[in-house]
Amino acid sequence: MKAPVAVVVAVVAAALVCGGCSSSPPSAGDRLTVFAAASLKSTFTDLGARFEKDNPGTTVTFSFAGSSELATQLTQGAPADVFASADTANMTKAVDDGLVSGDPVAFATNTLTIVTPPGNPSGIATFADLARPGIQVVTCAPQVPCGAAADRVEKATGVSLAPVSEESSVTDVLGKITSGQADAGLVYVTDAANAGDKVTEIAFPEARRAVNVYPIAVLNQARSRPAAQRFVDLITGPQGRDVLAAAGFAEP
């Protein structure tokens, strides 16, 4: 039996409309942009590669900088899916500005240490030595988490520093030391460990008075919240904890 003409026309029309359906390119996968504190560069780069391997087709792009700078960029509309801060203060700013989806999760802590050029040529032994006349010390700017931590140590000890430079991120402080532009700097223990023999580290007990807590959160503007949440889960899960611990971070 022949099909009615109307049916044949409908089938042909449908075929024309859907002619390109089967040849449509597959989805390129999720694209995640992660804003993260500069002190997380090494660990997050490692974990980002693991995330891409475990999530084929997904690409993770990082923007590393001082947490205060990142928070400002987000407030001004910079696109990102995940924010990881080196302190709770800048994460709170993001929350208060309505940028965060759900509750931030604390995933690590970090502590300040003193670094000098190799061999410690100025003979720095204590936090108070950083205030000696003629010592060129570099710190983070006060609005940056590592700078705020240094300020808390100063207030707790009564030692006032006169830095020759206040940098926008902890990695910039480290750069001043490894390039020989200063006698000493205050960075995180993780940065000192990552620098290896490029610096000499001098731990000081007063640093325990200014421990920084690192929170991470999915952002409301995330292009794929499920993918962004999977990244957060990686950071806060066993793999993330192992990588962070190996780099010198402590648990919150």
| Distance of alpha carbon 74 from alpha carbon 33, whole angstroms | 12
Distance (Å, whole) CA 137 – CA 116: 9
Encoding tokens for residue 168?
A: 């926008």
**Closest C-alpha among 158, 27, 140 to residue 86:** 140
* Whether domain 31-109+213-246 has CATH 3.40.190.10: yes
Compute CA distances 23 → 19, 175, 188, whole Å: 8, 51, 52
Fold of 112-210: D-Maltodextrin-Binding Protein; domain 2 (3.40.190)
Element containing residue 61 per DSSP (H, E): strand 59-65
Encode the chain (252 residues) as per-residue pLDDT tens digits.
444 434 333 333 433 334 333 333 334 478 999 999 999 999 999 999 999 999 999 999 999 999 999 999 999 999 999 999 999 999 999 999 999 999 999 999 999 999 999 999 999 999 999 999 999 999 999 999 999 999 999 999 999 999 999 999 999 999 999 999 999 999 999 999 999 999 999 999 999 999 999 999 999 999 999 999 999 999 999 999 999 999 999 999
Say how far apart CA 76 and CA 148 lie, in whole Å: 23
Output the six-digit token pair for 242. 């192992």
pTM score, two decimals? 0.85
> Which residues make up the CATH 3.40.190.10 domain(s) of the chain?
31-109+213-246, 112-210
Q: What secondary structure letter does DSSP report for 133?
A: T
Q: What angle in degrees, to the nearest 10, is found between the helix axes of 88-96 and 145-157? A: 130
| 166/182 Cα distance (integer angstroms) | 12
The amino acid sitting at 54 is: D
Report the binding-site residues for molybdate.
Answer: 39, 67, 170, 188
* Three-class DSSP category at 15: helix
d(CA 139, CA 82): 27
